[in-house]
Every structure is written in structure tokens, then in C-alpha cells.
A and B are shown apart, each in its own frame.
Chain A
Amino acid sequence: MERDQLLNEEILVRLCQLSNLRLLESEQGELLHDLQTIKRFVDNIHGVDTREVEPLSHPLDMDQVLREDSTVDEIDRATYQELARDIGDGYYLVPRVIEP
């Protein structure tokens, strides 16, 4: 079964890729150990019989309220962009993204 699989270093590397985290070597061992501990900790959910149980995403059974299609003028670009480190002519700048 999937859940019996070990959470190994290879998986940790993959998780870091997916979540864009880069661990220091000193952190790697510690985090791997922690994640294994956490996995063991949460694995007791597998013992619960959930056949015929619908997943519950929200504690209350409410429906989405829809917003009217109107615009509100609340865009203060200067204030927003003060929060960014690299701005040019109103663009947010990032290191060059290589397109194929």
C-alpha cells in the first residue's frame, strides 16, 4: 500500500521541488526525520472506516454567495508596488524566465 511506503530522501527532494524550498544540508536530516515522525503520527487515520462517508470540505453546509459584476476603483499601484523589491515601469521584475 501507498501509505506503507517510506518517506525517504528522494521523496523529500521531490517535495522540496514542488514547494520551492531549498534545504540546507544541516536541515535535511532533521526535516526528513520530522516528516517521518509526522507521517507515522497521521497514519492512524487509515484505521478509520470511512466507507460511504462523503468528504467534508467546509464545516457548514453553505453555498457560495455570488458577487454583482461591478468594479470598484481601489487600485493604488504605487502603494502596492512599494512592497516589491524590483519594479520597472510598473512591471514586477523577476530574473529572466527562459522561454523554450
Chain B
Amino acid sequence: MNTPFPSIEQLRTQLTSREISAVELTEEYFHRIRSTSHQLNCFVSLHEDSALQAAREADSDIARGRDRPLTGIPIAHKDIFCIEGKKTTCCSRMLQSYVAPYSATIVENLENAGAICVGTTNMDEFAMGSSNETSANGPVRNPWNLQHVPGGSSGGSAAAVAARLVAACTGSDTGGSIRQPASFCGVTGFKPTYGRNSRYGMVAFASSLDHPGCLTNSVEDAGRMLSAMAGNDTKDSTSASQEPIGWSSSTRPRRLGYPTRLFADLPQSIARPLEEARHTLEAAGNTIVEIELPHFDVAVSAYYVIACAEASTNLARYDGIRYGHRSKFDGNVEDMYAQSRSEGFGMEVKRRILTGTYVLSVGHYDSYYMKAQKIRRLIRDDYLRAFHQTDVILSPSTPTTAFRLNAMDLDPTDMYKQDQFTVPVNMSGLPAMSVPCGFSDGLPVGLQMIAPHFRESELLELGIDYQNLTDWHQQQPCLPKT
């Protein structure tokens, strides 16, 4: 019943052949956004004027043959990327009225590639959450079932791409924040190697784990986005200097690492589509190599120690003085700090700041923070060892399909466990993506693929092969039009 949605390449062909103008395309997207996005709550702000202005410029560039790889392609940014002159709020009360004075490198790179930004997408507050329920702008709904969450923290981006309200979205992934919502919403979520995309201008959550990336309708689209986003940035000390991301269309057999134990405890509803995906890949000529990841079980715990530690000090800058929320109850300096921060941050952010403060404080540093950093090495080395005999590792993206809103309210660690398959990858800095591989009870299931550092091309090539053999990525949710 679905007609396949045009890929970025197809949109580009339509634009360059003047079948449609960038202005028309942009207007069409805004029309779609207006008619459906309120059901999803996936946007924080829309930049209609500047988008149309950019579309007019795109048309004139196309007319003069000066178009670039993404000229005229409508995209949206997760509300964590600074866009000069626009509100960047991280969906926190703390930054409710923050207008960024400069643009993130990722934002500039996409702009320079010709992409048109239609607005910013909803997210968990400061990217802390796996359901998009911690947003100060209210939860996003899953386009496949409005009673369910879209995942998080890039929930707005995932929902917007799934509902085809934009051609692609940026996202950020600290512990799975691109891949988990991509999996929940049935889209492709790509997190490249740490250092591949600049973090400059992306509001920090946990610096050594934060990865900018993208959410798209296909692996090929992800490749096009990443080619435009990536690159060495002298403003980010952790940015890597590497060959640009590329991929070829030729299929070749690969050795696929299969950590059997990770698939063993999954509910049938998820296990079955993943099993099927494995068979599809095997049938295509790839070989399955069983591998072990011995320290997988402690990864989430070690991750939360490190992520919270970094977050607790990254968020110390929000003091109400130079920007951000400043309490009216600021009679003295202590009040100014404590009231502004307490009013500005939501509960999950507070939990993580306090946890991070705890693990870094006197007497706990060695037994928690240092210990977790040692475990981090063990986890990374598990992967590096596995890559001696494999090209790409397969893994579930999530332990369940999208859960119902408010389902995880009681125990914060239930939510943390959502990220068990994704956090070890962030700790290791490896490139990984989630691709749709089926459905369970009408909700999408995602397959995660992980590659060695800076081998994004492996993922792109394998993913394109897989999507040539399947059509899960072309399935579209049916939203009632209003």
C-alpha cells in the first residue's frame, strides 16, 4: 500500500532535472509537517522563513549549475546542535530562550552542502533519556503507534524521518540515542566513529561518548548525509583527521561477527526478525562467525558511571549568569546558583548530575570512575579482538520494541537497560548503525551493525546490500491526516 518514498538521490535528480523546484519541495514538506507533526510532537521549532529563503537560493544555484551534494534537500536538526540566530534549547527549561550566537560545525557543513534546515526536533532533555519523555517540550509519539514512545534521545528526529516529514535528520548518540530511536521508529540510524563528526556546537552531555550522526530512510541516504557532515575540525580537539567517508556499490562477501549470547535472551518477538535478517545476510554470501564479548554484561553500569561523571561537570556551566535560566529567587549567589539550576533542570538531568558527582567525589573516584574507565578498555578490546576475525559485528539494536509511554516511570535503571546493546559501542568509539529488519505487533525491529574504527564504508556497503534485498526500510507508518 506504500509507494516507496524518494531517496535523497531521487530528490536530487528531481531537483536538478527541474521536475520540482527546491521551493516547491520545501513547501511540500512544510505542508506535510503542518498536517501531521502535532500528533507526534516531533518538532521544537520550525524555520519556515529561512528555509524558504534557502530554497530560493538553492533554486538559483541549481539554475546556475552550482549545486552541491545536498542542494535543496530538506532536513532538520536535533535541538542539541547550535544554529546561529535560532533557538537551541536541548529541550530543557534551562535553555528555553537560548538563541545560539554561532552554528555547530555539523550545521555549517550541511548548510555548505546545500541542505535546507526546516527546523529543530524534539529530544530528551540534554539527550538524557531513551524514550523522549524527559523533554521539557513534552514526549514525542511513535508514528507507528501513538501510544508508544519513539525512543530517545533523538526521538523527534526518528519520528520525523519515519513519518517522512523531512528527508533526513541529524542526531546525537551518547549511549544509543540515534540507533535506539531509529530502531523503535523503523528508520536507519547511523553513528560514525568517534572523532569523525565534529562535536563543536553540539551541546555536550558526555564528551568522550557523544557522537553526532544522522537518521535517514535508507543506508544510502545516511552515506550522503555523513559525507557532508564529516570532516576534521580544528575547533574540536577530539576530531580525527581521516579519509572522507566513501562506499562502493559492489557487493562482496563479508565475515559477520555474531555474538550468540546477545541474541539468546531476547523475546521471541524481536528474536524472530533478527534471525530472519541473519539468514538474509547469509544467503547473500556473507559468512557468520560466532564471537564473544566477555565484558558485555557490565557495560551499561560502567557506561552510566562515565556518562554521569562527564555530564555532571559539563552541566556545571549552567549557572544563570551568562545565559540560560536565572531564577527570580536570586537574592544571594548561593540562591542564584541553586535555584536557577534546580528550576532549569528536570528530574533525569538532576539524577545524572548527582550520580556523576557521587562517582567523582573523594573516596569514590577510584572505585567508580577509574574502575569504569578500566572496564571501558576491556570492552573496547573485546571488540578489537573480535574484529581480527570479522568485518562487521551484528547485534540487536534494542532489547524490546518501542514501549508504551510512562512504562518505565518506576525504576530509572529499567530505562538504562534499554541501551545495553548500544552503550558498549559508544564506549569503544566504533561506527555503528541500526537498520529496520522487520516488525513485531506492528512496531519496527532494528538490527545493529558495528564496524572497526573509521570503517564506515563497511557498514554502508553491507547496509545498502541488505536494503537491496529487503524493503523494511520502505515501510511507512499510516498517520491519520488532519
Q: Within the complex, are A and B direct neighbours (CB within 8 Å)?
A: yes
The chain B residue sitting closest to A82, CB to CB, is B99
- Complex Cα gap A92–B312 (Å): 24
Q: Which of A1-41 contact B (CB under 8 A)?
A: 1-3, 7, 11-12, 14-16, 18-24, 27, 30-31, 34-35, 37-39, 41
Of the listed residues A24, A53, A97, the one surrounded by the most CB atoms of chain B closer than 10 A to its CB is A53
A90 in the interface (beta carbon within 8 A): no
Contacts of B430 in A (CB 8 A): 59
Please determine whether B377 and A31 come into contact, CB atoms closer than 8 angstroms. Answer: no
Instruction: Write out, one digit per residue, whether chain A residues 78-100 have a CB within 8 A of any chain B CB (1) or not (0).
Output: 01101111100000101111000
CB distance from B419 to the nearest CB of A (A): 12
Known A-B contacts A2-B364, A76-B101; the reply to A19 vs B357 at CB < 8 A is yes
Contacts of A30 in B (CB 8 A): 347
Contacts of B371 in A (CB 8 A): 45-46, 48, 50
Please determine whether A12 and B354 come into contact, CB atoms closer than 8 angstroms. Answer: yes
Contacts of B302 in A (CB 8 A): 42, 45
Please determine whether A21 and B373 come into contact, CB atoms closer than 8 angstroms. Answer: no
Contact of A41 among B323, B324, B416 (CB under 8 A): B416
Contact of B322 among A15, A19, A80 (CB under 8 A): A80
Please determine whether A92 and B341 come into contact, CB atoms closer than 8 angstroms. Answer: no
- Complex Cα gap A65–B198 (Å): 14
Known A-B contacts A60-B194, A67-B234; the reply to A35 vs B358 at CB < 8 A is yes
- Complex Cα gap A50–B298 (Å): 12
A54 in the interface (beta carbon within 8 A): yes
Please determine whether B376 and A56 come into contact, CB atoms closer than 8 angstroms. Answer: yes
Question: Nearest 4 CB-CB pairs, A to B?
Answer: A59-B429, A55-B373, A83-B323, A56-B377
Please determine whether B361 and A18 come into contact, CB atoms closer than 8 angstroms. Answer: yes
Please determine whether B339 and A22 come into contact, CB atoms closer than 8 angstroms. Answer: yes
The chain B residue sitting closest to A64, CB to CB, is B237
Q: Which of B337-380 contact A (CB under 8 A)?
A: 337-339, 341-342, 345, 347, 350-351, 353-355, 357-359, 361, 363-364, 367-368, 370-378, 380
B453 in the interface (beta carbon within 8 A): yes
Please determine whether A19 and B333 come into contact, CB atoms closer than 8 angstroms. Answer: no
Please determine whether B413 and A37 come into contact, CB atoms closer than 8 angstroms. Answer: yes
Please determine whether B304 and A42 come into contact, CB atoms closer than 8 angstroms. Answer: yes
Q: Which residues of A contact B (CB under 8 A)?
A: 1-3, 7, 11-12, 14-16, 18-24, 27, 30-31, 34-35, 37-39, 41-48, 50, 53-60, 62, 64-65, 67, 76, 79-80, 82-86, 92, 94-97
- Complex Cα gap A15–B316 (Å): 13
The chain A residue sitting closest to B360, CB to CB, is A18
Count class of interface residues, chain B: 35 or more
Please determine whether B373 and A94 come into contact, CB atoms closer than 8 angstroms. Answer: no
Please determine whether A56 and B358 come into contact, CB atoms closer than 8 angstroms. Answer: no
Contacts of A57 in B (CB 8 A): 208, 373
Q: Which residues of B contact A (CB under 8 A)?
A: 98-99, 101, 193-195, 208, 234, 237-238, 240, 295, 297-298, 300-302, 304-305, 312, 316, 319-324, 326, 330-333, 335-339, 341-342, 345, 347, 350-351, 353-355, 357-359, 361, 363-364, 367-368, 370-378, 380, 411-413, 416, 426-430, 453
Interface contact tally, CB-CB below 8 A: 182
Please determine whether A15 and B358 come into contact, CB atoms closer than 8 angstroms. Answer: yes
19 of the cross-chain contacts (CB-CB < 8 Å) are A2-B363, A2-B367, A21-B350, A22-B338, A38-B416, A45-B301, A46-B371, A47-B298, A48-B371, A50-B371, A53-B374, A56-B374, A58-B429, A62-B238, A65-B237, A67-B234, A83-B98, A92-B321, A95-B331
Please determine whether A60 and B429 come into contact, CB atoms closer than 8 angstroms. Answer: yes
- Complex Cα gap A44–B402 (Å): 27
Please determine whether B322 and A18 come into contact, CB atoms closer than 8 angstroms. Answer: no
Please determine whether B358 and A11 come into contact, CB atoms closer than 8 angstroms. Answer: yes
The chain B residue sitting closest to A42, CB to CB, is B301
Contact of A23 among B342, B375, B412 (CB under 8 A): B342
Known A-B contacts A34-B351, A58-B238; the reply to A45 vs B376 at CB < 8 A is no
Contacts of B295 in A (CB 8 A): 48
Please determine whether A15 and B361 come into contact, CB atoms closer than 8 angstroms. Answer: yes
Please determine whether B354 and A19 come into contact, CB atoms closer than 8 angstroms. Answer: yes
Please determine whether A54 and B377 come into contact, CB atoms closer than 8 angstroms. Answer: yes
The chain B residue sitting closest to A12, CB to CB, is B354
Please determine whether B429 and A50 come into contact, CB atoms closer than 8 angstroms. Answer: no
